[in-house]
Structure 1
Amino acid sequence: MRQTSPTARRRRLGAELRRFREAAGLTSYEAAERLGWASNSKISRIENGRISVTWSDVAAMLDLYGAGPGETRDRLITLARRSKEKSWWQPYSDLLDKEYATVIDLETAASGLRIFQALAIPGLLQTPDYARTIITRSGPLDLDEAEVERRVELRMQRQAILSMDGRLALWVVLDEAALRRVIGGPEIMREQLVHLTEEARHCNVTIQVIPYSVGPHASLPGSFGIFSFPESQDRDVVFVDTLAGTLFLDREADVQAATLGFDHLCASALGIAESADLISAIAESFR
């Protein structure tokens, strides 16, 4: 059975509450005012899945929107209650900021994930030694050995999503720079690239490479990803990594722009077989 996550449940609940509000002909400001809430920002945060909501608040919102007793009302109230359940990663919660926890929650619930990475291999495809080097060199500077190993362990546990009955369809486009940047030394790089070729053989993993020869391409500014979900009412979510943290975008215009950009990247990249050949050739160069 596909696991769900608090983030995914909040987003699904929020999307349905938004539909009920709009069907009732109410703006978020009007709804907040009639509910006696100090600000309409609470409505917005609930509808965007950014905060948990009590079942009593959901019941009050549904009363206002004219959604009487029935299966849909019961389902949404149950969803509100379940949105407070703990995720599988809770034992590692002391290691996670809010953005990282959200990424893991979305991974857990997603059916598809498209990623472009310019300078490094994505966490879902990293080997332990490669991950350890990344965490040691680019993470907090004061980590002791035990904390580093827990972070590596968490990253490896995240990868289980790829082997659970093909639960997550992963499509990765890499700039050639991500394959040639030496992380941890030649031996670690070779092991990492061999691992990539092995993962690419799985039916739910697609890897393409944009070679240097292409020159400028659609995402020179940086890396990003797009989560898709099995439920049709769940909107795609774009995430963009920045120095200030991870941005999550789900406006239709943002999703369309990211999707178009990813399609252009795929068109610029080598085909799947040619990408595998290039990865293998670069792996051999690290001997």
Structure 2
Amino acid sequence: MGSSPTVWRRWLAHELKRLREEAGLSRKEVSTALRCTTGKLHYIETAVVPPRTRDLEEILFDLYRVPQDHREHYLQAARNAKKKGWWEHHSETVPKWFSLYLGLEQGASEIYAWETQLLPGLLQTHAYATALMENGTAELGEEEIRRRVDIRMSRQKILEGDEPIRLWAVLDEAALQRNVGGAEVMREQLAHLLEMSQRPKVTLQVLPQRSGAHPGMMGSFSILGFPATIDSGVIYIEHRTGSIYLEQPMEIKEHQIAFEHLRLAALKPAQSRLRLQEIMEEYS
């Protein structure tokens, strides 16, 4: 969960729901004891808001009978959930719907990404990201583009350090052959992908255009997994003005199956590196 308050809030929400169910209490019974609405408890158990310290102490100590030696862990989790992530200090640049995703991404333990039209933000070079934004439809100024690119580069720190996250990305060959920013930018970008593919916790696969129909034709998506085993993860799907978060078990399973089929249809990692090399040479 690292330093992501978003993921700490998710963990605490899952735990509080689990503890309530183990105590054999309904939401109505707990909300009555807390002198609040069931809606407020619902928001706490679905990670919309973190609990107040006073409410949390009453829940843990009086209602759920949590052992004394476990209580501080939950209280510390609540404190962590109320902190601000680094991305939340850029509210003028990061919209609220994307701020939520950044909080999830920065606290994830693994991400499985399928991209059709462009390369994942975690793998983009500075020049590639800049070229994308300069040619977008948002009509951004130079300073706004710089701020957005800087945030995108900061996101990539989760792939570094002693405990990087696990990233597995399947890339549509069409995205690699789309000339974004010119030949020099693309050569640098492809060289970066080759370098990243050598990292122990990064796996890249290329899905050739000759593969024909496949489960990813409906659009890009990412599967995010988290350190806590109680958290089954989330599916993230982005569109122009917002995003969709899918968390139902059936929704997660369907996307996991689709990603598995994409991995099988794509070139093996070693073959993908050869294909990346070939495409890079084409830009020469």
The answer to whether structure 1 residue 264 and structure 2 residue 261 are counterparts is yes
TM-superposed deviation, 1:8: 0.6
Superposition TM-score, scaled by structure 2 size: 0.92
Q: Following the alignment from structure 2 to structure 1, what is the Cα–Cα distance between the partners of residues 51 and 133?
A: 34
Q: 1:56-96 CA deviation, whole Å, 9 max, x = no partner? A: 22223335633256122332122112211121234423211
Per-residue deviation at 1:167? 1.6
Unaligned runs of 5+ in 2: none
Cα deviation, residue 34, structure 1: 4.3
In the alignment, is residue 106 of structure 1 matched against residue 104 of structure 2? yes
**Mapping 1:136-285, distance limit 5 Å:** 136-138=134-136, 140-141=138-139, 143-285=140-282
Contact 1:20-1:65 within 8 A present in 2 as well? no
Residue segments in structure 1 that go unaligned for 5+ positions in a row: none
8 Å CA contact retained: 1:67, 1:73: no
Aligned pairs for 1:64-103 within 5 A: 65-68=63-66, 70-103=68-101
Shift of 1:23: 1.4
Aligned to 1:10: 9
**Which letter maps to 1:137?**
N
Per the alignment, do residues 267 and 20 of structure 1 end up closer, same or farther by CA in structure 2, a change over 3 Å counting? same
Question: Could you tell me how far apart the structure 1 residues matched to 2:236 and 2:31 are?
Answer: 29
Change (3 A) 1:148 1:97: same
Q: Aligned pairs, how many?
A: 284
Q: Deviations over 1:220-240 (max 9, x none)?
A: 111111111223223312111
Residues 112 and 223, structure 2, Cα contact 8 Å, conserved in 1: yes
Compute the TM-score of the two structures, normalised by the length of structure 1: 0.91
Query: 2: CA distance between counterparts of 1:257 and 1:34?
Result: 39
Equivalent in the alignment of 1:24: 23
Percentage of pairs with the same residue: 36
Q: Which residue of 1 aligns with 2:117?
A: 119
Residue range with higher mean Cα deviation, 28-37 or 2-11: 28-37
Residue 223 of structure 2 contacts residue 235 of structure 2 at CA under 8 Å; is this kept in 1?
Answer: yes
